[in-house]
Amino acid sequence: MQCLNTPKVISILFFIFCVNVVLTAQPKLKKKELNAITDDINLEKFDVAAQKIKHLMINHPEEPILNLQMGLCLLNIDYKTDDAIPFLEKAKESYPLDKNKKERAIEARYYLAQAYHLNHRFDEALAELIALKDNIPAKQKALLKEIERETTYNENAIKLKSNPVDFRISNLGQAINSENDEHSPVISADESILIFTSNRQGTGSLTTSDGQYYEDIHKAIWREGRWLPAMNIGQTINTAGNDATCSLSADGQTMIVYRNDGISGDLLYSNLTDKGWTEPVKFPKPINTDYNETHGSFSYDGNTLVFASDRPGGFGGKDLYMVTKLPDGTWGKIMNLGPTINTIEDEESPFLSHDEKTLYFASMGHMSMGGFDIFSTQKLDDNEQKWSEPQNIGYPINTPGDDLFYSPTLDGQRVYYASERPGGYGRSDIWLIEYPENDERTLAVVAGFIFTQEGIPSYESEITVTKKESGEKVGVYRPHPETGKYVIIVPTGVEYTMTIRTSGKATFVKDFTIPARLDFPTRGNASYLDPIVVEDMKDGQ
């Protein structure tokens, strides 16, 4: 899998205390059986360990150590965190803090707090952690640090839960989702192309240690009001190993993908031509290094790249960096986005808004409610790359688990998002988030095509959009050189004038209006204008 994917709970506690678990086990349980379970847990084979524990519980249903180990295993198995709670509550009762075997008492309470936290029982989790902290020896600094971090997560979660975000979420359906994992969705500006990552059976037959297929990239097209069934994007992009989506340019013509060669992860890009996607090419140094570059996102015009890397010299873990393309087409100096955005924890999956004023990203720091949360920050100074204090986008979009790959549409009104939510088709599914009318997201996507009289894309055309009433310039745009397609982002409920100027061609002027949006649109289709043909100048023009 993409290297940022991690098990839900890999606590340091078990590795601190696992020797004691084996050496002090009751004689009626065979030492070799407990050792085998310990080995499986150390290797993160939680399903295997859980089956062995289940077998032993037939004859030892009330054995405290089995309850403790079963709780730990279930915490690390998809959709089983809720099942872990009764086992850990039994283990807590069996191991009082004021008795011997205090290590097991600490484990039981810590894992129980994590189980409460993952199941949105934040007050109960916080109570367990507060009670536990006073019983940890000062010399166990690593453990105290873990408890302090978990405490902060739950305090943040309680605050965020008290002011939930108003939104609607819907599953994208069986055309997109399967019983396997689907994640990392990227969407074209007009929402006609969805590309995502899935570990359903793909180009190869290789599987991971837990029996899952390696990840491939898949593509779906929106046509006549529905998503057509997703298809593997093909062997030009996908390899026998893991291949994952990162981002898609606004016109849907350039895609950033992630690959890991077994030593480090790199970012690559591929272009869409009339013959399909080109062979992915690595971004040059210093964008890629001998370290891990795990995710990248283009600006609207494709001239800026924001990416995540764990290269030395950052503020801790993976940091976010920015680089801008120079006039000669090469990439300029790499810039760390600084301590306002980057923390001692990991930052991941950046997404830059079309106007480059808002940056969305995932972080395990800041005001996270557990694992990775999605944050947003606003640019304060174009020249010095100063950004506002990141804000958590809110509960219940963010959850106690890892929330990454937040892919908003260019108008900001909707988000394509991967999550293990109730009502899905399997493991992680792709969902659509829609915000209500009173939200500040009131932009619309306008798209169309420009051709010459010969029927070829008019790539030399320049499109200027102004507000009709005031004459205020909204922006200047150009069509894609291979398709003639243009994409414009404008506020709704305003009348605009589009002026198209092309060397050697007559100027074309067209007015258009985008109605104010409705409350919770069923799907944010782009507003397509009729194709435009620029004509040769006539005598006297």
Residues pairing with 430 in the sheet:
418
Token pair of 299 as six digits: 């600006």
Burial grade of 466 (CB within 10 A; 0-12, 13-18, 19 or more): middle
Contacts of 541 (CB under 8 A, 6+ apart): 506
Residue 71: predicted pLDDT: 94
Residue 3 resides in a domain: no
Residue 128 resides in a domain: yes
Mean pLDDT of the region 278-305: 91
Range with lowest mean pLDDT among 9-13, 32-36, 236-240, 276-280: 9-13
- Whether the pLDDT of residue 73 is over 50: the answer is yes
- Domain holding 291, by residue range, is 168-434
Query: Residues, the chain, total?
Result: 541
The verdict on 73 and 176 lying in the same domain is no
The verdict on 220 and 105 lying in the same domain is no
The verdict on 151 and 219 lying in the same domain is no
Residue 15: predicted pLDDT: 46
The verdict on 253 and 116 lying in the same domain is no
Number of domains in the chain: 3
Interval 406-430: pLDDT, tens: 888 876 778 898 887 777 887 788 9
- Asked which of 434, 456, 482 is the last residue of a domain, the reply is 434
Residue 6 resides in a domain: no
Residue 450: predicted pLDDT: 93
Residue 7 resides in a domain: no
Query: Please, are residues 171 and 433 in contact by the beta-carbon 8 Å criterion?
Result: no
Residue 517: predicted pLDDT: 55
Work out the angle between the directed axes of helices 12-23 and 141-161 (0-180°, nearest 10): 130
- Whether the pLDDT of residue 267 is over 90: the answer is yes
Residue 541 resides in a domain: no
Query: pLDDT tier at 4 (50, 70, 90 boundaries)?
Result: very low
The verdict on 120 and 257 lying in the same domain is no
Token pair of 401 as six digits: 């688990």
Q: What are phi and psi of 508, to 5 degrees?
A: -115, 130
Residue 521: predicted pLDDT: 45
Residue 295 resides in a domain: yes
The verdict on 24 and 135 lying in the same domain is yes
User: Residue 493: left (phi > 0), alpha (psi -120 to 50), or beta?
Assistant: left
Residue 134: predicted pLDDT: 83
The verdict on 311 and 454 lying in the same domain is no
Q: What is the CATH number of the domain that holds 147?
A: 1.25.40.10
The verdict on 184 and 329 lying in the same domain is yes
- Whether the pLDDT of residue 244 is over 80: the answer is yes
Q: What pTM, to 2 d.p., does this model score? A: 0.78
Q: What is the CATH number of the domain that holds 483?
A: 2.60.40.10
Residue 69 resides in a domain: yes
Q: What are phi and psi of 118, to 5 degrees?
A: -65, -20
104 or 529: which leads in pLDDT: 104
- Whether the pLDDT of residue 238 is over 80: the answer is yes
72 or 406: which leads in pLDDT: 72
Q: What's the CA gap between 46 and 37, in Å, rounded? A: 9
The verdict on 176 and 152 lying in the same domain is no
Token pair of 82 as six digits: 């809720």
- Across all residues in the chain, what is the average pLDDT? 84
Interval 247-264: pLDDT, tens: 988 777 889 999 987 778
- Whether the pLDDT of residue 163 is over 80: the answer is yes
Interval 187-228: pLDDT, tens: 887 788 899 999 988 766 677 666 778 899 999 998 888 899
Q: How far is CA 274 from CA 315, 454, 531, in A?
A: 43, 18, 20
Interval 94-142: pLDDT, tens: 998 876 658 889 999 999 999 999 999 999 999 999 988 888 888 888 8
Q: What's the CA gap between 115 and 80, in Å, rounded? A: 10
The verdict on 66 and 193 lying in the same domain is no
Q: What is the CATH number of the domain that holds 240?
A: 2.120.10.30
The verdict on 372 and 465 lying in the same domain is no
- Whether the pLDDT of residue 384 is over 70: the answer is no
Mean pLDDT of the region 281-292: 93
The verdict on 272 and 401 lying in the same domain is yes
- Asked which of 110, 144, 161 is the last residue of a domain, the reply is 161
- Asked which of 434, 469, 494 is the last residue of a domain, the reply is 434
Residue 422 resides in a domain: yes
Interval 466-499: pLDDT, tens: 999 898 888 888 888 778 888 887 777 788 999 9
Q: What is the 3-state secondary structure (H, E, C) of 21-89?
A: HHHCCCCCCCHHHHHHHHHHHHCCCHHHHHHHHHHHHCCCCCCHHHHHHHHHHHHCCCCCHHHHHHHHH
